[in-house]
Structure 1
């Protein structure tokens, strides 16, 4: 029996178009703890010293707010080519044929649109950058953990990411949010049932519980409102503290995301009770402020090719 095609290993970065560009730069640099690894006029790439990925966030100044693209890592250039062939055979719209990338680290990738019109990049052979282990109490992001997207077409989106990117369903939260994995990490992508397509939240892994709390405290001391948290989810078993960036996108500090048996895990469905949403009980039930924030504004960059 032929093994299923599973080209993706992890999420590389999220690229966002933002109207409030200067404020976003200040937020990432002074508060969130990322470092600028490259920039140009109205364009910047943000990484972490603990991650071999060249960057985990890309910001581009634009009058319209939205997702420029979400980038995933593939195991090999051959997998990128095979993915492209499968996309074409499935009448999936390509934005760029497989070829060399001219972003930091280079590599070989393909770009295409998911059923909602979000631009997706899958790439291989991106050169890693030097990295180091974070030290104790160093409260900056270790890596990009996962990305959650709101969609009015949840079942179609789930099927697309299963069929083409080879992601597997890990768990459901009620019937409104599904968690999808590429390997043993509980999820790299979440899909939430929404009225429109938009960023639900972007999540960053911290070194440990202490660093997660110190990072959350740093934002609170700087006057940032915590939308929800600190707490610990049941689905994923990870900690959470949610904040808004200057463009109204929800960002999460997290740590200790559950590791599952990739081959044998059976999907579970968790209820929406407060004690399920937050095991600790400190963050409590999801707040109305958080619900409104994670609904976000309708994405204005759907079905649009990224200029970078």
Structure 2
């Protein structure tokens, strides 16, 4: 396994046909803030996060994941990661250099094993952010991103070998075998997870709220607004975090969560959790049952952007 030079998750970038509708959803009911924008593109920040933005939206003919972005500590670490990937034959979109997105910085992009575009950057300017107050049910930060994979074993191996991700836990099923792998890049239980699916796509993007009360208030606000709920509210066993899953206007699953577990990396040993046991999916027993309907919605549409870098 490579040395872990990635420090954290920065943002997830989505392309959608109806940019205005998607932006209105994320800045309205969902609670993000539009910080920057240009014709055909919007950068959305979380009020509690030092990241310049946690979601980037771009108008496009087909919906896709434009990229998933991670941070590194220094430009030297960015260069080391780029060199290691190139030496291993991983296709780079471009060599490391100055970024022209909000906050600047130094970074590069590459394609992972299934063709998703991934960005790694350092020296991005810190955004002026604030403490989220008690009762304020807006996202504090982007918690994690989960992707569907037609080759999940290969995808997990790619991120562990080339990027230093570590395995926290795995969900298994008595008939279907291993189904979801939780990967960490710091002490958070997971910043990324890989789910077995019929095709590469976004499974869900998760946003952390201040605490349980804020999480429930946010969940209630979305329900009152008529946003379609897929699953929740409940609390997972793997990661010990709460969950409420909703659909955005383009059919992507987005999650409100809180209290994601911090692990002691010196002593942690990955678990195999049998998610046919109801308490594994939901410790509380308050969520609707995980069934074929929930699973099918999380499969999403096949990603239209594989091995094609976004234009910006």
TM over 0.5: yes
Distance in 2, Cα, partners of 1:70 & 1:170: 20
Q: Contact 2:46–2:142 (CA<8 Å) still a contact in 1?
A: no
Unaligned runs of 5+ in 2: 173-177
The corresponding residue for 2:304 is: 300
Does 2:123 correspond to 1:125? yes
Q: Contact 1:54–1:105 (CA<8 Å) still a contact in 2?
A: yes
Distance in 1, Cα, partners of 2:46 & 2:270: 32
Q: Could you report, residue by residue, the CA deviation over 1:115-137 in whole angstroms, capped at 9, with x for unpaired residues? A: 00000000000000111110000
The corresponding residue for 1:196 is: 199
Distance in 2, Cα, partners of 1:225 & 1:296: 15
Unaligned runs of 5+ in 1: none
Pick from 209, 213, 218 the counterpart of residue 216 of structure 2. 213
Which SS does the other structure have where 2:95 is aligned? strand
The corresponding residue for 1:82 is: 80
* RMSD (CA atoms): 1.0
Distance in 2, Cα, partners of 1:4 & 1:16: 29
How far 1:8 sits from its partner (Å)?
A: 0.8
The corresponding residue for 1:91 is: 89
The corresponding residue for 2:240 is: 237
TM-score (norm 1): 0.98
The corresponding residue for 1:135 is: 133
Segments of 4+ moved more than 2 angstroms = none
Range with bigger deviation, 264-273 or 188-197: 264-273
TM-score (norm 2): 0.96
The corresponding residue for 2:175 is: none
Q: Could you report, residue by residue, the CA deviation over 1:158-208 in whole angstroms, capped at 9, with x for unpaired residues? A: 111011111100000111000000111000000001110000000000000
Q: Could you report, residue by residue, the CA deviation over 1:239-282 in whole angstroms, capped at 9, with x for unpaired residues? A: 00000000110000000001111233111110111121000001
Distance in 2, Cα, partners of 1:99 & 1:257: 34
Distance in 2, Cα, partners of 1:53 & 1:296: 27
Pick from 227, 231, 235 the counterpart of residue 224 of structure 1. 227
Which SS does the other structure have where 1:94 is aligned? coil
Distance in 2, Cα, partners of 1:6 & 1:105: 24
Which SS does the other structure have where 2:163 is aligned? coil
Distance in 1, Cα, partners of 2:216 & 2:292: 23
Pick from 47, 71, 80 the counterpart of residue 73 of structure 1. 71
How far 1:60 sits from its partner (Å)?
A: 0.2
Q: Contact 2:65–2:202 (CA<8 Å) still a contact in 1?
A: yes
How far 1:107 sits from its partner (Å)?
A: 0.4
Which SS does the other structure have where 2:26 is aligned? helix
Which SS does the other structure have where 1:212 is aligned? helix
Q: How does 1:29-48 map to 2 (within 5 A)?
A: 29-48=27-46
Pick from 250, 275, 287 the counterpart of residue 279 of structure 2. 275
